[in-house]
Amino acid sequence: EFDWQNDAPLRRPYDETIIYRLHVRGFTKHVSSKAKHKGTYLGIVDKIPYLKELGITMIELMPAYEFNEMESHVATSMKGQFSIENPVLNYWGYTSGYVFCTESFICLCHKAG
């Protein structure tokens, strides 16, 4: 069982909440993010000071689980840009996946405010 270390919801009023929707892997994967833990939950934690500086008070994760971005899709009748000959990367994870959310990531975000 996960030790929440007395973590509790922040209970910030909605009218004082600024939500930033981000992609877990994409938010810090690029070298320009300067995050130590690129493309991970900890990479987002690395960027919490930056998000707070922007006035962000809540983040919404898209997607919040691991998935196979190289998953092949059967599209034998398709031609052109999205055909089997020209596969696309499933960067957003809109498919079956390994759905979970890491508790320690939530705790670290709450501790940061």
CA dist 59 to 46, 51, 63, 98, Å? 14, 9, 12, 21
Cα 72 from Cα 95, distance rounded (Å)? 11
Q: For 10-32, how does the pLDDT look when each residue is reduced to its tens digit (9 = 90+)?
A: 899 999 999 999 988 889 988 89
* Paired tokens of 34: 């300067």
Where the chain has pLDDT below 70, the residues are 63-102
Domain boundaries, the chain: 14-112
Q: Is the pTM of this model over 0.85?
A: no
Per-residue model confidence (pLDDT) at position 111: 86
Per-residue model confidence (pLDDT) at position 26: 86
Per-residue model confidence (pLDDT) at position 89: 60
Burial class (CB in 10 A: 0-12, 13-18, 19+), 42: middle
Per-residue model confidence (pLDDT) at position 72: 56
